[in-house]
Amino acid sequence: MLQLSFIREKTAEVIDRLKLKNFDGAEVISEILRLDDIRRETQKALDDLQAQSNTLAKEIGKLFKQGKTQEANTLKENTAELKLKAKDLDEKLESTRKELDELLVRVPNLPHTGTPSGRTAEDNEIILSEEALIPSSGEYLPHWDLASKYDIIDFTTGTKITGSGFPLYKGKGARLQRALINFFLDEARGEGYLEVQPPYMVNAVSAFGTGQLPDKDGQMYYAPVDDLYLIPTAEVPVTNIYRDTILKARDLPVKNAAYSACFRREAGSYGKDVRGLNRLHQFDKVEIVQVTHPEKSYQALEEMREYVAGLLRKLELPFRIVKLCGGDMSFTSALTYDFEVWSAGQKRWLEVSSVSNFEAFQSNRLKLRYKDEAGKIHLAHTLNGSALALPRIVAALLEINQTHEGIMIPEVLKPYCGFAMIN
């Protein structure tokens, strides 16, 4: 959620920058400003009225104590009218606030000035491509064939148990999952992230705090009996640790890492996108989250980008980093880097990580603030990134490391796996 004060002060700039996200904000913004004027006006009137009531009430109390019942009762009569007026104003204030909020919540975050313009993934800017490891020739089976060949991922049984998009990992397949999770968590810890283990279900307030509600309502699994949502990413519970919090400036940056299973309905996906491990309803991911000082958030973003790149290098996977254009970026993000690994079997890039700076957009909803040295309170910045999401990493690993003898495990993972080859 954008800050009202910012919209008020930099109206033209806000509208202008929203265009980068292909969002025509002119109308909404002016409506927001209009409602905000009404809101402030109404509040002023209501406050004044209540100030009057308060003084009256005090006087009445005093008169009663002095035994001046007659005078007190006369004053009492005056309060009836005040109350009526106050009620009106209160209702007006409430409804204006609600209207204002509904509009405000639907305005996306402003893209960073360095954001490439464009509408679709085609317009994204490739800022780094490490393709040396891409095999120039040879037969490479897609991972779903390898999965059944070595009996390490059983999609059919997963479908039987639950439904499509819920694979059953078996034997070395299951152990590889566990190895990757541990590897990612250990690496994150080495980078200064505090490991946390969050709940996998969240309440509506939390889902709202990070922007999943109302924006992505239909994408989350929902348990109506208890009114809880299954998390689509650990970002939700981890960032919500700091909801309604005022941190001390010296506590920044906060760095957390969490493994979680992630649940996504992925309504509307189909075709080659959902084949094998490409897109699942349940998958594993290690997420890194940072809460930073506003002036440090872009530096943190670059650090996170370097960190994720380092992970992919250690895994010896060809990858590229893409800076998302305005149209491809998420609602809440100001700047996002996507990481894509090369799928040797499918001959295409697969997204495995998304690293974003949300600036104060999430903080504003979350009421996540920090107190500076002078005791002033400001919104902090939040960032997060996958480090990393497992399924497509597994897909890429299986495909690129296949040999006639079996699938080779990358050096860094061997101690975690406890085996060097899947055969």
Partner RNA sequence: GGAGAGGUGGGUGAGUGGCUGAAACCAACAGUUUGCUAAACUGUCGUACGGGAAACUGUACCGGGGGUUCGAAUCCCCCCCUCUCCGCCA
Q: Which residues bind RNA (CB under 7 A)?
A: 4-5, 36, 40, 43-44, 46-48, 50-51, 53-54, 56-58, 60-61, 64-65, 76, 79-80, 83, 246, 369, 371, 377
CB of 198 to RNA, least distance (A): 16
Nearer of residues 100 and 304 to RNA, judged by Cβ? 100
Closest CB 112 distance from RNA, rounded Å: 24
* CB nearer RNA, residue 368 or residue 422: 368
Q: Which is nearer to RNA, 5 or 137 (CB)?
A: 5
Q: How far is the CB of 50 from RNA (least distance, A)?
A: 4
* CB of 371 or CB of 414, closer to RNA: 371
- 69 torsion bin: left (phi>0), alpha (psi -120 to 50), beta (else): alpha
Q: What single letter denotes the amino acid at residue 183?
A: F
Sign (positive/negative) of CA torsion 246, 252, 257, 262? positive
Q: How near is the Cβ of 333 to RNA at its closest, in Å?
A: 23
- Residue 404 makes CB contacts below 8 A (sequence gap 6+) with none
Q: Closer CB to RNA, residue 53 or residue 182?
A: 53
Of 217 and 244, nearer to RNA (C-beta) is 244
In the complex, least distance from residue 374 CB atom to RNA, rounded to whole angstroms: 10
Q: Which is nearer to RNA, 52 or 330 (CB)?
A: 52
Residue 122 neighbours by CB distance under 10 Å: 9
Residues 371/336, Cβ–Cβ less than 8 Å: no
CA dist 218 and 126 (Å) reads 31
Question: Dihedral, CA atoms, 28, 31, 37, 41, nearest 10 degrees?
Answer: -130
Q: How far is the CB of 9 from RNA (least distance, A)?
A: 12
Residue type, 312: L
In sequence order, the 6+-apart residues with CB closer than 8 A to the CB of 159 are 166
Type of residue numbered 107: V
DSSP H or E segment with residue 391:
helix 390-400
- Output the smallest distance, CB 103 to RNA, in A: 15
Of the pair 368, 400, the CB lying nearest RNA is at 368
Which residue is associated with the tokens 């969490």?
A: 258
Contacts of 1 (CB under 8 A, 6+ apart): 104, 105, 107, 361, 364, 365
**Residue 325: what are its φ and ψ, rounded to 5°?**
-80, 165
- The nearest distance, CB 270 to RNA, in angstroms, is 38
CB of 245 to RNA, least distance (A): 9
Smaller CB separation from RNA, 203 or 219: 203
Q: In sequence order, which residues have a C-beta less than 8 Å from that of residue 191 and are 6 or more positions away?
A: 255, 288, 307
Q: Count Cβ atoms within 10 A of the Cβ of residue 297 and give its class: 0-12 exposed, 13-18 middle, 19 or more buried.
A: buried
